[in-house]
Structure 1
Amino acid sequence: MRLLPGLAVLRAYERGWWRPDLVAGATVGAMLVPQSMAYAELAGMPPVYGFYAVIAPLVLYALVGTSRHLGVGPEPGTAILAATGVGAVAAGDPDRYLVLMAGLALVVGAMAVLGSVARLGFIASVLSKPVLVGYITGVGLTLLSSQVAAFTGVAIGADRFFPRVAELARELGSVDVATLAVGAGSLGVVLLLRRWAPRAPGALVAVGVATLLVWALPGAQPAVPLVGAVPQGLPSPALPGISLADVLALVPVAAGIVLVGFTDNVLTARSIAARHGYRIDPNQELFALGVTNLSAGALQGFPVSSSASRTAVPAALGSRTQVVSLTAAVLVVATLLFLGPALGQVPRAALAAVIVAAALSIIDVPGYRALWRVSRSEALLAVVAALGVIVFDVLVGVLVAVALSVVVALGRMARPHDAVLGDRPELDGWVEVDAYPDARVEPGLLVYRFDAPLFFLNTDRFRSRVLDTLERNPGEEEWLVLDFEGVGELDATALDGLADLTASLAGLGLQRVAVARANQPVVRRLRRVALLAPEGPLHHYPTINAAVRDFRASRDAG
């Protein structure tokens, strides 16, 4: 049951859950049909491969996933990231491209499974909110620009956001009116239904209406490009013929997909689970991402992750379990078996409209507004992350996003908040003097707090801040108490720095230097290097008040 948590939920299935689960499953299936085709084209593959990529993941996630609502399958960010990486390796060979896409899904799956075995679920926290906002916005803008040709009929040769926009501006006279009408009309239907009937399968309605109109109107079919022949029948399991050199070339792309796909999966799943009273296991979700991608690759598909819309809709419809996914899988199989000829009549502009609608939904303008209200610097960080995606490519954007997250985290740890503390008896504790100006500072005693683990990156900062604070603090200090509640860890550099600091403090005439509220690992490390009394210069107190009582007693005795 630990490896198959979904099965445990299904074994406890209740009769009253059937109706909402089946209704939600039919709705998700209706969403998946046009989305799978559209996202396959976005990945540079024939539309039918979108179905190949979703059938097995839907079934397997229902067994191995910990979310009861997560909508797995093709997703635009993952599709465009895969297309960027595989396109560089395939070097223009379309047959090799298809094989490498399936191989990439297998590499993604293997990396995710190995990561779950190594308990690397914590990587869901690698990307900060500003970077995620910027990354997803960059992906949305990239998606918009990628559909210019299919949406307008203009031949676009550029492969980056700004060059595509510039090329469209130069070629506005070449816009095909019929193609644009189909694309704009389909987009309008999707957006209107999203606004006024959010539970309706807007993409399916839009694609269906566009297909009927193009089929019925005389002269429309030659003018508006169609999907073309769609093979009927189910895909056969097969391992793609890729070499070790191919695998090594795909590893960087796969790592980016695992990082972004897994982070997005966990964040989406947690947001829904919190509202419905169950929990998400990040390591199991990493395993589920691996299993679903292995199955997609084995059926000639491409890398998959999850869709926020296909997660939110069943939750809004009252679904209770992943029977939703199983129902959707049945509908996709039925579509492959019986609706191939009808799918071939779908206008490509209508599929482009589905992608444009998805792009508009993930451009996170509210996220930027929220960041701007909270922190201008974090809003700027989100802008930089978005530019990394649209100026270069999605893979570079992922690397930029990760690097920015790490740099921001290191920067905050290198220059953390610190404070001088004063006594506020009515608040039952010691508080920051800057925040509470009426807090009482004990004459002859300085209580100083440093709010970060002490290690090589901030040891010099800690030392200089302590000395600067002693120099600025009025009066002649007799005791210095270092509040170590925020110092949860010490490394070797920090221990050397503390030894140097205490040596410097000895020349300032301080009678005692103490640490208060240090946790046991910190105390053990201080003892190992003989920094704590009686062997060393530092005195340890479990609380600030205990240190203050000793200070007052020594002052009264003196």
Structure 2
Amino acid sequence: MTRPTPRQRLADLAPGIAVLRGYQRGWLGLDVVAGLTVGAMLIPQSMAYAELAGMPPQYGFYAVIAPLVVYAVVGTSRHLGVGPEPGTAILAATGVGAIAAGDPARYVALMAGLALVVGTMAVLGAVARLGFIASVLSKPVLVGYITGVGLTLLSSQIAAFTGVPIEADRFFPRVLELLTGLDEVDPATLAVGATTLAVVLLLRRHAPRVPGALVAVALATLVVWALPGDEPVVPVVGAIPEGLPVPGLPAITLDDVVRLLPVAAGIVLVGFTDNVLTARSIAARHGYRIDPNRELLALGLTNLSAGVSQGFPVSSSASRTAVPASLGSRTQLVSLVACSVVVATLLVLSPVLGQIPRAALAAVIVSAAIAIIDVAGYRALWRVSRQEAVLALVAALGVIVVDVLVGVLLAVSLSIVVALGRMARPHDAVLGDRPELDGWVEVDAHPEARTEPGLLVYRFDAPLFFLNTERFRTRVLEALEANPGREDWLVLDFEGIGALDASALDGLTDLLDQLAATGVAQVAVARANEDVVRRLRRIALLEPEGPLRHYPTINAAVRDFRRFRAGSG
């Protein structure tokens, strides 16, 4: 085995550094502009998502500074925008709120502890090479989950956006409280929130490269500051401590860690899936590849860095990924520049940040919610499969009716149930010969395909295991019964059967006995892979020890059948 070169080892341990080592001067201007833009986006988003997570606004900065640097070193995406994200924030708040029991200091410590648990879990998953879990959530479940999160985000900002006091913590009760409390709407708060939201949405539509949230929040802050009076006309953020976070471990117990595990598992699953899907979509357009296991490790290390920096769990933002890509950025130098912007803001502009209206931050969250409510996804699902559209609706209802963590668990469960259902009742077909296509095709799809008297060619399109063995046996017997005439030969096309388990082998043995009793002279398998052939040989089902014949192609089996019929005639 060839030993890896130093460059290959560096690329494996620190992909970001390996990319930066080959940096080209022509990339610098594009990366710096993109980095300044992402940094400008992070200022209002970090504060807004911290409040969404139930944390003071400055903790949003604490949660982003170290992760930006860490991901730039260990991530495999050259564009992924790591940091606070609304779905992760609200999922974390749901879990930690139940444990903290109203103690603000304990809440902050548990949030940092949750980031450490998320990081540890993701790192262990990467060591175990569990990167495939990014495929656990199917598209309809992801559409439903993210839509449910978007609606939850909208309802969570009713109080800050309108001034109406909201006590409920679920979507429908919050909406009901709003409807019954319309007379308590504060006109100034609503005006600031609605105007900020309008500016964000207009810039997003007509100038997507402009950091709309920053521009809108800055304008709102300037207007509220300029209005006459000793006190702001609407609630503002308040004092923001100057300086950078002091690294350290949060004061949590082992019992706290155990109670945080279910929340952490949900964040790892959802955050990792979102990271990989976002990173892959951008990487495919820019000609490089994403390594899921390395991304799982990167998720772990970024969350560990957020935890020791007094932050909270982080993942990635689709908007902070798409914008630098659209600006032509080439490397994760973007994250390092964005980190510098955040650090400078925290050190120099803390007094200004304290004057930001809370309604303006609520508008930032509402704009994020509007962006992720996937109406187009529902339309696409409805066109393709009504069943999957209903599945997406159920996932969304699970999030908004119960809570986000239960919604995640429901989404995963639904994905597994749907997958098992499809494997339990897979597509199957009787095949016929179409010489002009040089192959055997489904007779239902190709009525002109020719079947031969005395021969049935049958295909089952799924791995054969305990869940569908009885279905396979039943469908084979039904196909024999429905096929006109007496069948001398049965050829089982095993191209779609990639694997067999013990239950399937037992079921196949029973089926062969049953077929022999009905007078089928020969049963053959065609196009089976080597692993399946090996398993059939181990239990002596293949000739010469057993009754089954094996052929590399369907045509080879059919030629032997024709010789058999000619000899019988």
TM-score (norm 1): 1.00
Q: How big is the shift at 1:220?
A: 8.8
Q: How big is the shift at 1:241?
A: 1.0
AA matched with 2:363? A
AA matched with 1:285? E
Aligned to 1:512: 522
Aligned to 1:451: 461
Distance (Å, rounded) in 2 between the aligned partners of 1:284 and 1:133: 25
1:273-322 per-residue CA deviation (whole Å, 9 max, x = no partner) reads 00000000000000000000000000000000000000000000000000
Distance (Å, rounded) in 1 between the aligned partners of 2:463 and 2:555: 22
1:504-542 per-residue CA deviation (whole Å, 9 max, x = no partner) reads 101111110111100010001011111111111111111
Paired positions, count = 558
Matches within 5 A, 1:201-280: 201-219=211-229, 221-280=231-290
Structure 2: which 5+ runs fail to align? 1-9
Residue 312 of structure 2 aligns to a residue whose secondary structure is coil
Is 2:529 the counterpart of 1:553?
no
Distance (Å, rounded) in 1 between the aligned partners of 2:127 and 2:436: 51
Is 2:405 the counterpart of 1:395?
yes
CA contact (8 A) 2:224 2:232 kept: no
Instruction: Tell me whether 214-223 or 273-282 shows the greater mean CA deviation.
Output: 214-223
Is 2:460 the counterpart of 1:464?
no
Distance (Å, rounded) in 2 between the aligned partners of 1:553 and 1:149: 81
Q: How big is the shift at 1:219?
A: 3.9
Q: How big is the shift at 1:442?
A: 1.1
Distance (Å, rounded) in 2 between the aligned partners of 1:337 and 1:59: 18
Is 2:417 the counterpart of 1:414?
no
Residue 68 of structure 2 aligns to a residue whose secondary structure is helix
Is 2:202 the counterpart of 1:192?
yes
Match of 2:496 among 486, 489, 492: 486
Match of 2:374 among 338, 351, 364: 364
Q: How big is the shift at 1:221?
A: 4.1
Distance (Å, rounded) in 2 between the aligned partners of 1:188 and 1:220: 28
Distance (Å, rounded) in 2 between the aligned partners of 1:250 and 1:550: 64
Structure 1: which 5+ runs fail to align? none
Matches within 5 A, 1:117-128: 117-128=127-138
CA contact (8 A) 1:33 1:332 kept: yes
Q: How big is the shift at 1:468?
A: 0.6
Distance (Å, rounded) in 2 between the aligned partners of 1:9 and 1:220: 53
CA contact (8 A) 2:159 2:165 kept: yes
Aligned to 2:4: none
Is 2:174 the counterpart of 1:164?
yes
Aligned to 1:499: 509
Distance (Å, rounded) in 2 between the aligned partners of 1:129 and 1:516: 34
AA matched with 2:369? A
Is 2:513 the counterpart of 1:541?
no
Aligned to 2:386: 376
Distance (Å, rounded) in 2 between the aligned partners of 1:111 and 1:209: 41
Residue 228 of structure 2 aligns to a residue whose secondary structure is coil
AA matched with 1:532? L
Aligned to 1:144: 154
Aligned to 2:6: none
1:230-262 per-residue CA deviation (whole Å, 9 max, x = no partner) reads 000000101001110000000000000000000
% identical equivalent positions: 80
Q: Which runs of 4+ in 1 moved over 6 A?
A: none
Distance (Å, rounded) in 2 between the aligned partners of 1:75 and 1:15: 32
Residue 406 of structure 1 aligns to a residue whose secondary structure is helix
Aligned to 2:328: 318
Distance (Å, rounded) in 2 between the aligned partners of 1:161 and 1:227: 25
Q: How big is the shift at 1:80?
A: 0.1
Residue 88 of structure 2 aligns to a residue whose secondary structure is helix
Aligned to 1:3: 13
Residue 423 of structure 1 aligns to a residue whose secondary structure is strand
CA contact (8 A) 1:215 1:221 kept: no
Aligned to 2:5: none
CA contact (8 A) 1:214 1:221 kept: no
Distance (Å, rounded) in 2 between the aligned partners of 1:485 and 1:219: 78
CA contact (8 A) 2:116 2:307 kept: yes
Distance (Å, rounded) in 1 between the aligned partners of 2:435 and 2:78: 50
Matches within 5 A, 1:270-309: 270-309=280-319
Distance (Å, rounded) in 1 between the aligned partners of 2:229 and 2:302: 43
CA contact (8 A) 2:307 2:313 kept: yes
Is 2:114 the counterpart of 1:104?
yes
Is 2:95 the counterpart of 1:85?
yes
Distance (Å, rounded) in 1 between the aligned partners of 2:361 and 2:423: 47
CA contact (8 A) 2:382 2:389 kept: yes
Aligned to 1:52: 62
Distance (Å, rounded) in 2 between the aligned partners of 1:300 and 1:330: 18
AA matched with 2:110? L
CA contact (8 A) 2:148 2:396 kept: yes
Distance (Å, rounded) in 1 between the aligned partners of 2:543 and 2:352: 83
Aligned to 2:104: 94
Match of 2:415 among 398, 405, 409: 405
